[in-house]
Amino acid sequence: MKIGYTSIFAGLFLGMGVLLAQPQDDEKTSYLQQLVEVDQCVACHIEEEALPEGLHENDIHLREGLSCAGCHGGDPTSDDMDIAMDPARGYIGIPDKQEVPSFCGKCHSDIRFMRRFRPQVETDQEVQYYTSRHGRLLKAGDTKVAVCTDCHTSHAVFPASDPRSSVYPTNVPETCKRCHSDSDYMAEYKIPTDQYEKFAESVHGVALLKKKDVGSPACNDCHGNHGALPPGVTSIGQVCGNCHINNLQYFQKTKMAEEFKKMDLHDCIECHGYHAVPPTNDEMVGVGEQSTCIDCHDEGDEGYKAAVEIRAMLRNLTTAIDSANTLKKQIQIIGMDDLDIEYLLKDAHQQLIHARTVIHTFDPKQVEEKTKTGLDRAKEAIQLALEEIEEYHRRRKGFLFATLFTTLLIIGLFIKLRQIESEQKEDAHRREP
């Protein structure tokens, strides 16, 4: 009896184990298993348990039919190792690090070949790479720098649009970080290693890494992909202006932009920083503690005055919008009509956003154009809100009318009651004198 149970349980357990394990195993080996039939490299390496580390079943090369020999050379039809891995039959094996760009470039730099897979494919990666800092150092014999496989991996390669890819936007910072945040590894290059930390806290980093907003820039969006270089001092504005178009255009037309050039200052980053770009706020303008204006401007000069003025305009508008918002909420709660107020406030808010962009002209007049319209809208909204509240109280007047008639009716009925009762009393008296 006892043994019976045990064996049943054991049987069940094993059965479940097989059931659970099977689909996984199936998936993992199915494609490679198919390859076993035609590709002796795969067959042998599976048997010897010598498949490359990190090999991904869905690696784009593997899936496109490019098996081991496609890159590593040799004869995949032979099950004899000496023949299969014979350099005479084109066997390359693991390329030297310095050889990697040309190893990949064999195909990736060949437009005719690459066209077969994707008509709009780019084939300049290798050329671009050698213009980058990585590429130039590699050429000079430094094998510590990143080559294709360092960023793209060797055997888990995916298109950059695939979230599994090591170069998918949200994965890029992590990929660069592997070397660039390693202070020991980077020591000899004498460049900072805090970029990732700074970036992760920045407005872009939070959007990209925390909110997974792929519209936010990763490292490569400013530094380039294959031709990775720090943006030059003269081009930094263009880099930011790629997305922040209006801000750049306003800035470029200012006197300050010219002065910056003369003083060898770097456009946007002088106020906003780089890597650690914090979310902007209105305190950055003006002459307060967080102001960036007073880094250069002193009390009395024109810029100082403009900063004070612009700050005041923004404050006026935000205060007006805030108080209108408070009123709006109140109106919502008491159940009055807030729809028009909401639309006015939307408009006011838009003017505020606009004004914050126009700040980059550093011209109080241009900022005022926006803040004034915004202020008008906010004031209209407040006016409308107050009218709604007044209407709310005005309703009470009608009550006085109604209550007047109700009171009359009550008095009338009361007198009537008294009359009836006194008559009844008289009646009773008459009956029993």
- Pick the closer one to another protein by CB: 125 or 361: 361
d(CA 277, CA 236) in angstroms, rounded, equals 14
Indicate whether 161 belongs to the interface with another protein (CB under 8 A). Answer: no
Binding mask 162-201 for another protein (x = CB under 8 A): ----------------------------------------
| Gap between the Cα atoms of 220 and 172, Å rounded | 8
Rounded to an integer, what distance in angstroms lies between the CA atom of residue 350 and that of residue 72?
Answer: 59
Q: Is 411 in the site for another protein (CB under 8 A)?
A: yes
Binder among 337, 365, 425, 426 for another protein (CB under 8 A): 337
**85, 117, 248, 276 from 77: Cα distances, Å:** 11, 25, 60, 54
Within 10 A of 358 (CB to CB), how many other CB atoms are there?
Answer: 22
Q: Which is nearer to another protein, 1 or 339 (CB)?
A: 339
Under rule CB under 8 A, which residues in 386-405 are in contact with another protein?
Answer: 392, 395-396, 398-399, 401-405
- If one asks whether residue 263 binds another protein (CB under 8 A), the answer comes out as no
What is the rounded CA–CA span in Å between residue 288 and residue 282?
10
Rounded to a whole number of angstroms, the minimum distance from the CB of residue 144 to another protein is 36
What does R_g of the chain's alpha carbons equal in angstroms?
A: 38
Residue 415 is a binding residue for another protein (CB under 8 A): yes
Determine whether 322 is exposed, middle or buried from the number of CB atoms within 10 Å of its CB (0-12, 13-18, 19+).
exposed
Residues 339-358 that bind another protein (CB under 8 A): 339, 342-343, 346-347, 349-350, 353-354, 357
What number of CA atoms fall less than 13 Å from residue 328's CA on the CB side?
Answer: 20
- Binds another protein by CB under 8 A, chosen from 10, 12, 263, 410: 410
414 binds another protein (CB under 8 A): yes
Selected from 107, 276, 336, 389, the binder of another protein by CB under 8 A is 336
Q: Does 335 bind another protein (CB under 8 A)?
A: yes
Closest approach of another protein to the CB of residue 134, in Å: 30
Sequence-distant (≥ 6) Cβ neighbours of residue 327 within 8 angstroms = 341, 381, 382, 385, 386, 389
Task: Confirm or reject binding of residue 12 to another protein (CB under 8 A).
Answer: no
Identify whether the C-beta of residue 134 lies closer than 8 Å to the C-beta of residue 228. yes
Q: Please, what is the Cα angle at 47 between 41 and 50, to 5 degrees?
A: 70
Least distance in angstroms from the C-beta of 226 to another protein: 23
Tell me the residue type at 406: T
Q: Of these, 54, 93, 232, 412, which contacts another protein (CB under 8 A)?
A: 412
Q: Is residue 407 a contact point for another protein (CB under 8 A)?
A: yes
CB of 11 to another protein, least distance (A): 38
Least separation in angstroms between CB 293 and another protein: 22
Establish if 334 lies at the interface with another protein (CB under 8 A): yes
Using the contact rule CB under 8 A, the part of the chain among 101-109, 206-214, 283-291, 314-322 near another protein is 206-214
* Separation between Cα atoms, residue 175 and residue 186, nearest integer Å: 15
Q: Report if residue 326 touches another protein, rule: CB under 8 A.
A: no
Own/partner pairs, 299-304, CB within 8 angstroms, 24+ separation: 303/256, 303/362
Nearest to another protein of 66, 389 (CB atom): 389
When asked if residue 406 is in the footprint of another protein (CB under 8 A), the reply is: yes
Residues 364, 385: Cα–Cα separation, whole Å: 30
User: How many CB atoms within 10 Å of residue 259?
Assistant: 12
Compute CA distances 183 → 132, 133, 173, 187, whole Å.
Answer: 21, 18, 16, 6
Q: Which amino acid is at 427?
A: D
Judged by the rule CB under 8 A, the positions of this chain that interact with another protein are 207, 213-216, 243-247, 249, 329, 332-337, 339, 342-343, 346-347, 349-350, 353-354, 357, 392, 395-396, 398-399, 401-417, 419-421, 424
